[in-house]
Amino acid sequence: MPTPLTADDRLAIVDLLARYCRCIDFKRWDEITSFFTPDCVVDFGKVMGMHEGHEGVRRMAEMIGGTGLMMRHYSTNVMIEGDGEHVDVTSYVLAFTGTAAGSLMPTTGRYEDALVKRDGRWLIRRRRGIIEMPGTV
Taking 50 as the threshold, does the pLDDT of residue 88 lie above it? yes
Each domain of the chain, given as residue ranges in start order, spans 7-132
pLDDT at 2: 79
Question: The domain 7-132: what is its CATH number?
Answer: 3.10.450.50
pTM to 2 decimal places: 0.91
pLDDT at 134: 60
CA geometry: angle at 65 spanning 62 and 69, to 5°? Answer: 155
Task: Give the pLDDT mean for 58-85.
Answer: 94
pLDDT tier for residue 137 given thresholds of 50, 70 and 90: very low
Taking 50 as the threshold, does the pLDDT of residue 101 lie above it? yes
Task: Give the pLDDT mean for 98-110.
Answer: 88
Instruction: Name, in order, each residue with C-beta under 8 angstroms of 126's C-beta and a sequence gap of 6 or more.
Output: 40, 41, 42, 43, 113, 114
Taking 70 as the threshold, does the pLDDT of residue 49 lie above it? yes
